[in-house]
A and B are shown apart, each in its own frame.
Chain A
Amino acid sequence: MIYQSPLIKSTLIFAQSAGEAANETAEQTREILAEVTTWKVTQALILIGCAYIFVQIIDKLVNFISEKVHREWRLVIKQSQPFWRMLIVSLVAVILMNLFLNLSENNLLAITGTVAVALGFAFKDYVSSVIAGLIGLFEVPYRVGDRVTISNHYGEIVSYGLRAIHLRTPDDNIVVIPHNKLWTEAISNANTGELEALVVTQFYFDHDLDIELVTKILYRVAYTSKYTQLKLPIVVIVEEKPWGSLLKLKSYPMDARDEFIYQTDLIKRAKAILGKYGIAYPKFPVW
């Protein structure tokens, strides 16, 4: 009889149980994975290709239609873009899972756990952005067509993707910002789904200005601009500074897209009238 020390015995038992566990895992994996054939891989590739083409078509179609319809429908149509994208991506994901995995109840639980761990390590930031994008669909901190400031970038949201938004700046640059900024950054939204966005135009004057006259001129300039939305209030705010008086004209253009051309129109016409009255600007340079 061969003598085995308790240490060797326990090592053998451990090795045996480890081997059994490995076999069990392999068996479970075989159960979860369906048979992979060339036809299935081809189907999957065709499906992914079709989904990509569909997403591109929908993006183009939504943009085309939204620019053709009346202003009041523009944002509504643009805002449907993330929903259509998400619908296509979800459908493709479900079909692919059905193709390659045997989705029983137990298998689904096992897959969910495994995928969660794998994604948690490998694509932490990507998944964080995708989850933030999904939450963003319900919380709606921004929508397509909104004018937002995120991480010092200001512009109109032109696309709401699975991972990121595309922002068009006033200089016509496209900035890609991942949704996970939602967790950490403050998001300033100028119009929150509305067509109008407040425009603040600043005017600088000397302390000796006739405040009544200048306020009257600024109100008149705003009320007579072709871009002004007359349904919304127009306000002039006065602030005193060491170098002079700062007047802020707060008003709304009918379309937030016109904000810079609107501001130019206000300044141009205000300066023409202020010049006629000889109203003085600050004597000292503004630092």
Chain B
Amino acid sequence: MDSETQNNPVKALDPRLPKLPDLSAEEHYVLFSVLLHSKITLSHLAISLGDDESNVQHLVQILCRADVLKLEDNLLTVNPLYYPQLRDELDYNNFLIAEDE
């Protein structure tokens, strides 16, 4: 074994998904709606939630800063890194989530 390998031994990595930030009830509704539509514009999201666009925009900005939502070409999507945790979070909060096959 050469000296370089001895100095830098290979370490086992345990990859983990980033932790989902704490979400409010209003943020749950926004994320559920985005997940239902896969991709959606801000104005359509506001219609889908039945809320004023400025209110929705405020929530979307918070979620984009927390990296839970992504905005690409004016379309909002949920960051796939959070899918499993978000699914559990919404399920625990009484949202309608499909059962596993």
Contact = CB atoms under 8 A, between A and B. Distances in A.
Q: Is the interface of A mostly helix, strand, loop or mixed?
A: loop
A149 interface: no
Contacts of B49: 226
A231 B97 CA distance: 10
A47 B30 CA distance: 50
Band of interface residues on A: 10 to 19
Contact of B92 (A70, A196, A226, A230): A70
Contact of B95 (A73, A196, A224, A254): A254
B96 interface: yes
B32 interface: yes
B3 interface: no
A230 B29 contact: no
B94 interface: yes
B39 to A, nearest CB: 18
Contacts, number: 34
Contacts of B25: 255
A229 B94 contact: yes
B96 A231 contact: yes
A251 to B, nearest CB: 14
Interface in A213-258: 224-227, 229-231, 254-255
Interface string A63-87: 0000000111100000000000000
A254 B95 CA distance: 7
B67 interface: no
Most chain A CB within a 10 A radius of its CB, from B25, B49, B50, B93: B50
A196 B96 CA distance: 13
A277 B95 CA distance: 32
Interface of B: 25, 29, 32-33, 48-50, 89, 92-96
8 contacts: A70-B93, A71-B92, A71-B93, A72-B92, A72-B93, A196-B94, A226-B49, A269-B50
